[in-house]
Structure formats: structure tokens, C-alpha cells
Amino acid sequence: MKNFRQSALLDRLPVQFFASLVEKVAEYAEQGYDVINLGQGNPDQPTPDYIVKSLQKAAENPINHKYSPFRGYPALKKAVAEFYEREYAVELDPDTEVAVLFGGKAGLVEIPQCLLNPGEIVLLPDPGYPDYLSGVALAQGEMVMMPLEAKNRFLPDYNKLPKSVLEQAKLLFLNYPNNPTGSTATSEFFEETVSLSLEHDICVVHDFAYGAIGFDGKRPISFMQTPKAKDAGIEIYTLSKTFNMAGWRVGFAVGNKSVISSLNLYQDHLYVSLFGAIQEAAITALTSSLEEVEQLNSMYERRRDVFINGLRSIGWKVEAPSGSFFTWLKVPGGFTSEEFADYLLDKAHIAVAPGTGFGEYGEGYVRVGLLTSEERLLEAVQRLKELSIE
């Protein structure tokens, strides 16, 4: 059969890191091994029942069988604004400062195409979420990486960015609570970020995917809580983690009016908005009590404590994450990140994500997801103990 060559645009896309990881795990599972999969970022709990019932009811309404408005129902954008005012004391104009997204990933990949011209610079965290690179590649932008290092609590050091880079940069991506490191941001850091943005005319894109997951009594802060944050950029939020709605593909962007307008215009040419019943279910999620969200956060904290304490008990010196549902672990001496991940999968049938999948500065680490039961996490610790890794 004749092969039609794909475009140069597709040739520029990075390899989908998580797809190859899933394939590796599947190979071992198909051979009958009991794999403890700690490499994924897919929430393991079901969507709360009250949200599911809201969808079921809304799906029966014939109005939702038609195309929904291009930019989403006003009621959903109003619910987003009410959510931000209630949870973060941030005021938003639902008509001009909220954009409905097909999940957070869609917005993160779309933003570079909305604001960049070919060759323009984007500042990206390293390590960071791999799909940031996809959006930049599609926009034909130039990437400048910002190292996230333990000595700086996995926050970028803006003082290390050359003045020439700052003068040319158009976009800056951040993500706190952070994937993959589990670190959180401070209000002082966000204030510094806003100052940098306003001084150099750089649009900040804060990925707040894990905004509901914080530990030790400290709640993650929204970038939008920072004075003048709306002048500096936007924040992207997904319902995937907060409400266990990963498969529902619903999220939103909030903040700077000009950026929201660009997002809406771009999406006008791609979609006819989300299925109306999903929008109604999202409204239910955002406007209902967050009691189940708080219970979910407590569950992740218990899992974190069980796993971290277990590792420490077998002599592995590890730092506990302050947010997200990931732990970022230094690999033992004698291994690269990928070698150690392969070793664990082969010898202990434990799947973890090698740090290099998230960037150059991920070398020396593996990412572990707390997305299985406490019993399975303890089983993973026991398997690690039996390996007698120094």
C-alpha cells in the first residue's frame, strides 16, 4: 500500500514518553507478572457519584443532544468564576476571563500556537510535563529550559536566565504543585514571577492541574492570587485530579483577557465545545461541597506517608513531596534513571517513570505515582527491600 509522507510539522513532535512507558508495563503484564504500576499519572479512584448522576440526568435532556455553544455554556463559566472566588478569593469575569477547555492538556498545547510566531522563545521547566514540548513544537517555537533543582526547592532561578533570553522570551510555563517533583510554590516566588513577566513582557502560563492536592495542612496557592497576576498571564485548571474526572476531558483557563480571547478564537476553529451533559456535570462538581475532594486529599497524604516511611525504614533517604500525587526519588548509585526504572520492572515488577522522561535535569531521579492502595505501596516497599539496593 502506498505511504503518504507525514508533514514536517509532525516530524518535529517529540516522542510520546508515556505511550512507550505504557507499552513496557503491558509487556510484563501480558507475561503474567504481577506489576505494581507506580509510573502512571492516572487517578485510580472513581468520579464521585453525585457528579456521575448529574451527567446521567443531563444526558437525557434533548438540549444536550445538539451542538453546544462554541465557547461553552455561560453557566459553566459562571461556575468557574464562583469556584475561584470561593476557593481562592479571586474575582473573574466569566465572559472575558474564562475559557472552557477539552481538558488541561489541550489548553497547554494550544497556548503556544495562540501566542508564538516561529522561532520565538518559550521558557520551560526542566524537569517538566512532557506535553509542554509538544505545543512548542507545533508552534515552531524555540525552547529554553529552566533547571529545577533540589537546592532551590525545585523552583526555577530566574537570575540564571541570560538577559538576552529574557528580552526575547514570549512565554513562561510553570506548574505547582509540580509534576514530577511534588514541590509547591510560595507566594513570594509567584510575586517574583509576576515582576519578571511585567518587566520583560512575558506571558506566564501556570499549570494548576494538582491545585487541590497539598499536604501537612498547607493548601496549594493559585497563581491568580498574586497581585497583578491577570496582567502577567493565565492559569490552567483541570477537573481530572480534583474530582477524578480524567476521562471526562474538561478543564478551563482563567486570567488575562487577551490570552483568553486568543484561546477562544483558536478553539472556535477546532471544536464545537464540550458535550453539554459533561458541562452540566462540571457545573455540579464546581458548585457542590468539596468534602469528597478533601477526603481524596487526605487519602493521598496517607499513601504518601505510608510509602515514604516505608522507604525510610529500609534505608532509602527520601524527601516527602509537599503536593501532587507524585514522589520524586533519587536513584541509587551505579544506575541512570532509565537503567534503574528498567531494573525495578525486571527484578521487582514495579513500574516507575524514569526522570529523564521529564527532561535533562530529571536524570538521577524516578517519579513514583501514589495511585494505588496503601497495601500495594507497602508491597512495593517489601519488594524493594528484597532487592537489597544500597
pLDDT along the chain (390 residues), means of 10: 89 79 85 91 94 97 94 97 98 98 96 96 96 94 97 97 96 98 97 98 98 96 98 98 95 98 96 94 97 96 97 92 97 92 94 95 97 97 87
Q: What's the CATH fold of domain 49-287?
A: Aspartate Aminotransferase; domain 2 (3.40.640)
Write down the pLDDT at residue 326. Answer: 97
**Do 38 and 368 meet the contact criterion of CB atoms below 8 Å apart?**
yes
Assigned C-alpha cell, 101: 477547555
Go through 287-311 and write b for each residue having 16 or more CB atoms within 10 A of its CB, e for each that does not. eeebebbeebbeebbebbebbbebb
Which 3 state secondary structure label does DSSP give 95? coil
In CATH, what number does 8-46+291-387 get? 3.90.1150.10
Do 260 and 94 touch, CB atoms closer than 8 A?
no
Q: What is the rounded (10 degree) CA torsion for 202, 207, 212, 216?
A: -70
Residue of 183, 206, 180, 181 lying closest to 193 (CA atoms): 206
In whole angstroms, what is the distance from residue 101 CA to residue 83 CA?
16
One-letter amino acid of 100: V
As a whole number, the mean pLDDT across the chain is: 95
**177 prior amide bond cis, ω within 30:** yes
Looking at residue 344, what DSSP letter applies? I
Domain range list for the chain: 8-46+291-387, 49-287
Secondary structure letter of residue 234 according to DSSP: E
The grid coordinates of residue 87 equal 476557593
Give 214's DSSP letter: B
C-alpha span between 223 and 123 (Å, rounded): 17
- Rounded to an integer, what distance in angstroms lies between the CA atom of residue 41 and that of residue 46? 14
CA-CA distance, 307 to 325, in Å (whole number)? Answer: 12
pLDDT in tens, 355-387: 999 999 999 999 999 999 999 999 999 999 998
pLDDT for 390 equals 61
- What pLDDT shows up at residue 9? 87
> What pLDDT is recorded for position 267?
95
Q: Tell me: the pLDDT tens digits for 77-113?
A: 999 999 999 999 999 999 999 999 999 999 999 999 9
